């Protein structure tokens, strides 16, 4: 993994909207993003400016809370990628870090006798391991 940063919040949001669909990674509250090396070329191809800080050395003990975000509204329209990016950045602002995965999940749920199906993306909220986090 490589640690990168973006010049401003809007660029960060645009980059994250792209990364969410293509690469797994982690966002830290410091504004650093931990991404696989392959993401660097892809970001450059998208004309998204970034700065490489170096190889990732993030070894902190973390607990994880998983959040599933829907990729479509109930009427089938896609949730804008920018909205998903904003949700991830809000999680980072609150908890300090979040990881995201490229694997799309399919959820099924029933309400009022009707079966619904959702396409979801999993966000992992990384928090310091403690009794308050529920794992210590």
- Output the pLDDT for position 121: 87
- Output the pLDDT for position 13: 94
Q: Tell me the pTM.
A: 0.60
133 part of a folded domain: no
- Reduced DSSP (H G I as helix, E B as strand, rest coil) percent helix, strand, coil of the chain, to 5: 25, 40, 35
How far apart are the two ends of the chain, measured CA to CA in Å?
27
31 part of a folded domain: yes
Count the residues in the chain: 136
124 part of a folded domain: yes
Q: Can you give the residue range of the structural domain that contains 16?
A: 2-128
SS3 category, 72: strand
Distance, in Å, from the CA atom of 63 to the CA atom of 42, rounded to the nearest integer, reads 30
63 part of a folded domain: yes
Number of domains within the chain: 1
134 part of a folded domain: no
Give, for all 136 residues of the chain, the pLDDT tens digit: 899 999 999 999 999 999 988 998 888 878 889 899 999 999 999 999 999 998 876 443 355 678 888 999 988 899 999 999 999 999 888 888 888 887 778 888 888 998 888 889 888 886 664 444 443 3
């Amino acid at each position: 993994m490589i640690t990168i940063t973006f010049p401003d919040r809007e660029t960060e949001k645009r980059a994250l909207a792209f990364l969410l669909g293509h690469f797994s990674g982690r966002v830290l509250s410091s504004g650093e993003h931990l991404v696989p090396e392959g993401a660097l070329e892809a970001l450059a191809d998208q004309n998204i400016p970034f700065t490489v800080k170096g190889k990732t050395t993030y070894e902190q003990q973390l607990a994880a809370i998983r959040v599933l975000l829907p990729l479509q509204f109930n009427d089938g329209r896609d949730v804008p990628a920018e909205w998903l990016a904003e949700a991830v950045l809000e999680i980072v602002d609150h908890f300090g870090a979040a990881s995201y995965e490229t694997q799309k999940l399919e959820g099924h749920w029933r309400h009022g006798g009707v079966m619904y199906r959702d396409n979801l993306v999993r966000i992992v909220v990384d928090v310091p391991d403690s009794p308050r986090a529920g794992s210590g």
